[in-house]
Structure 1
Amino acid sequence: MTTLTTTRPAAGVTGAVKVYGSGDTAVRALDGVSVGFPAGRFTAIMGPSGSGKSTLMHCAAGLDTLSSGTAFIGDTELSTLDDRRLTLLRRDHVGFVFQAFNLIPTLTVAENITLPLDLAGTKGSPEWIDALIDVVGLRDRLHHRPAELSGGQQQRVAVARAFAGRPDIVFADEPTGNLDSRAGAEVLDLLGDAVRRTNRTVVMVTHDPVAAAHADEVVFLADGRLVDRMQAPTADKVLDRMKALDTKGAPS
């Protein structure tokens, strides 16, 4: 399995089409999208409701399949993999953070963080895990269970778990959706810090301009099509672009 390099995007899609249903009820969630997510960068995906942003992330991450076009992680085209090889690629190269923290309530913080490694039958790098615990600021919570943590702390555990296996890329789906503004900002700072300090890649779906402003770049979708990219985003610039999309739709 090919290791990711910095000579091409860490992940992406080319000519991506995703259709749900058939006939008169068919929904074209992605309509010929081509976009790459640069290695070592924090990219946010935004768009109006129904724009295809979550579908794009799921297909790029190998959680869903395209109707046509290609999706790749590193140098590996996902459509060339059978289920077993796709599972191994996700296990070894991809991390996930979701809106729902998805922690195991009976496990401690430390056990939740190392759960993917335990399921894979590997201990990983103890030095990496130890450094990661400091990055997310959870050293004094390692023996607590999720119910004893705040929402922000639980999401920090989820972030640490996503990075525990040293994945090349982490996909985050509305990671601050269940958090208040302060806890959300802490998690977003944490994701950005993880990109800078570990040279990993993060791709985040969000509806929040303030969250998107933490990214290095924002990719905008509308009606299943890529309509804009914004470098060095600010919350105001992202909000203005989203308002334009909401009122005008995707340009022809």
Structure 2
Amino acid sequence: MATEAIARAIDLQKIYGTGEAQVKALRGVSVDFGRGEMTAIMGPSGSGKSTLMHCMAALDRPTDGDVEIDGVQVRGLKDKALTQLRRDRLGFIFQSFNLVPTLSAKENITLPLDIAGRKVDQEWFDRVVDTVGLRDRLGHRPSELSGGQQQRVACARALVSRPAIVFADEPTGNLDSRASAEILSFLRSSTKDYGQSIVIVTHDPVAAGYADRVLFLADGEIVDEMVDPTADKVLERMRGFDGVGRRS
């Protein structure tokens, strides 16, 4: 059964540099991201996976093509409208956590809402906090939390505003295997239990195994996709990239 798209890339192209130094990071990528699904983006170094996510998340502008987020066409939006789109409809989780060191865990979680001048939905806040297991750590600052706890704060911050879609860039890259499993399980449950839409960029087949679908990029193009992946199947597919030649 087809899933409604929460986000869409339409013939996305991204070119860096000019002349002989020109790099085509994206070569006409078109893809839909399903509502209430977790999608992983994978590919070898230089494949364009981070560029695709940055364009989808309105953190970078494509050279050509368009991005649609929850029915909003990104191309042509002015800076103020882009800021509002990122604030109101998008959530972000970064490998480096990006927490404010002087704020408590609770203050970090509610920061996007505070900046936007929006009231905290206490019932939803409590559900998110309890789901990520932070109830007894809300008064602690980031320096008083483990890496896994800091990333749980970052996950809660991304979800507390009920964004249309969450983009996560190597969200478990700085975590040990146990903390990684906890974060990935939470992200997975947020799609299944709460209908959240999530896109993660990862190099880890284990992380990709938690997704509903994996997109494989090479040389700025989507070359394959896998539905209902497992870590073993993803690893086997990644080995196939050894034979993918680089195009000019």
- Range of TM-score over shorter length: over 0.9
1:242 match: secondary structure: helix
Please give the alpha-carbon distance, in whole angstroms, between the structure 2 residues aligned to 1:212 and 1:220.
Answer: 11
**Counterpart of 2:218?**
222
Query: CA offset at residue 125 of structure 1?
Result: 1.0
Q: Secondary structure at the match of 1:166?
A: coil
Name the counterpart of 1:199: 195
Instruction: Number of aligned residue pairs: give it.
Output: 246
* Residue equivalent to 1:159: 155
Q: CA deviation at 1:250?
A: 7.5
User: Hey, what does 1:3 align to over in structure 2?
Assistant: none
Structure 1 position 12, deviation (Å): 2.1
Cα shift at 1:7: 7.0
User: What secondary structure sits across from 2:166 in the alignment?
Assistant: strand
Deviation at 1:152?
0.4
Q: How far is the alpha carbon of 1:246 from its aligned partner? A: 2.4
Matched, 1:148 2:144: yes
User: Is it true that 1:180 corresponds to 2:176 in the alignment?
Assistant: yes
Partners of 2:83 and 2:71 in 1: CA distance: 16
1:67 matched to 2:63? The reply is yes
C-alpha spacing 1:63/1:71, structure 2 compared with 1 (3 Å): same
Does 1:33 find its partner at 2:29?
yes
Query: Could you tell me how far 1:237 is from its partner in structure 2?
Result: 0.6
2:129 aligned residue: 133
Q: Could you tell which deviates more after superposition, 231-240 or 79-88?
A: 79-88
- Residue 90 of structure 2 is matched in structure 1 by 94
Q: Could you tell me whether the CA contact under 8 Å between 2:3 and 2:34 is conserved in 1?
A: no
Match of 2:229 in 1: 233
State the Cα RMSD in Å: 1.4
| 1:52–1:223 contact (8 Å) kept in structure 2 | yes
- Per the alignment, residue 41 of structure 2 pairs with 45
Residue identity (%): 59
The aligned counterpart of 1:114 is 110
* SS of alignment partner, residue 199 of structure 2: strand
- Give 1:222 deviation, angstroms: 0.2
Structure 2: distance between partners of 1:61 and 1:36: 14
**Per-residue deviation, 1:83:** 0.9
Provide the rounded CA distance (Å) in 2 between the counterparts of 1:7 and 1:195: 13
Q: Kindly indicate whether residue 238 of structure 2 is the aligned counterpart of residue 242 of structure 1.
A: yes
Matches of 1:194 and 1:166, distance apart in 2 = 11
Alignment gaps of 5+ in structure 1: 1-5
Paired amino acid for 2:41: I
Query: CA offsets per residue over residues 47-80 of structure 1, 9 Å max, x none?
Result: 0000000000000111100101111102111013
Alpha-carbon deviations, 1:190-236, whole Å to 9, x = none? 11111112111000000000110000100000000000110000111
User: Which position in structure 2 is the counterpart of 1:169?
Assistant: 165
Letter in 1 for 2:102: T
Cα 1:82/1:8, change in 2 over 3 Å: farther
Change in 2 beyond 3 A, CA 1:179/1:7: closer
What TM-score, normalized to structure 1? 0.95
* Amino acid paired to 1:13: A
TM-score (norm 2): 0.96
Q: For 1:18-44, what per-residue CA distance to the aligned partner results, in whole angstroms no more than 9, with x for missing partners?
A: 000011100000011111110100000
Whether the 8 Å CA contact 2:167–2:200 is kept in 1: the answer is: yes
Residue type at the aligned position of 1:145:
R
Of stretches 78-87 and 133-142 in structure 1, the one that deviates more from structure 2 is 78-87
Q: Segments of 4+ in structure 1 off by > 2 A?
A: 246-251
The match for 1:103 is 99
Query: Which amino acid letter does the alignment assign opposite residue 212 of structure 2?
Result: D
Secondary structure of the 1:66 match is coil
The alpha carbon displacement at 1:126 in A equals: 1.2
